[in-house]
Amino acid sequence: MNRALRIIFSRYGIVVIILVLVLGVIALASQRQQTPLDGGTSNGNSTDDSSSEAFTEDDGLATEDCVGDDCYPDVELPQEAVDRSVEFAEAWLNPNGYSPDAWYDTIVPFLTDEQAELMQGVDPISVPAKEITGEATPEGAKVAIPMDTGTLTLTMNEGSNNSTELDWLVSAIDWEQS
């Protein structure tokens, strides 16, 4: 028994153990059949048309000629969406000095579920501004809010999330330093 342990914990034994582990991981990875884009087939030929329809269905926002800011429809936001974006910006600035978890709890009612997931774990100390310095300006689906060190641009969508019924929500956050 003692001799077997000596062999296993020698440098050659450890090399063999590592080699077995690496080969095991490679074997498990090569057996993975389902990938997100091929519908579960290993050769990419899916017989189920529902997965391809999900990628080709027109959502009304983007077109083949869509480049940059032209990807959003020319819809004028109602004042309620602009007001909601300003409310978010005020909470985003963290005037009460909340901890990261408490700050996240104050901004999540303003965010789409996807944006809330992106903001999870963000420290409010990374917010690059201290105060709003001007009036919010809507342009298409976006609202630009001037701040003391730059401009916060929010993309607004009407929808609901886990915290809020149907309302205007922030689906994208963009910061431009001045």
Tell me the pLDDT of the chain averaged across its residues.
81
Among 165, 171, 158, residue whose Cα is nearest residue 111: 171
Q: Determine the pLDDT at residue 72.
A: 53
CA distance 47 to 134: 55
Q: What is the pTM of this model?
A: 0.59
- Cα-based angle 164, 170, 176 (whole degrees, multiple of 5): 155
Report CA dihedral (117, 119, 120, 124) to the nearest 10 degrees.
-170
More confident residue, 28 or 172: 172
- Indicate the helix (H) or strand (E) that contains 156: strand 150-159
Q: Tell me what the mean pLDDT of segment 152-166 comes to.
A: 90
The mean per-residue pLDDT over the stretch 62-76 comes to 56
Going by pLDDT thresholds of 50, 70 and 90, the confidence category of residue 42 is: very low
pLDDT at 147: 96
- Reported as a single tens digit per residue, the pLDDT across 110-124 is 999 999 999 999 999
138: pLDDT strictly greater than 90:
yes
* Cβ contact 34:43 at 8 Å: no
Length of the chain (residues): 178
pLDDT at 24: 86
Report pLDDT for 29: 76
Provide the pLDDT for residue 40.
45
Least confident of 40-44, 121-125, 157-161: 40-44
Amino acid 17 reads I
Range with the largest mean pLDDT of 4-8, 129-133, 162-166:
129-133
pLDDT recorded at residue 22: 92
Helical (H) or strand (E) element with 146: strand 142-147
- The stretch 141-156 carries a mean pLDDT of 95
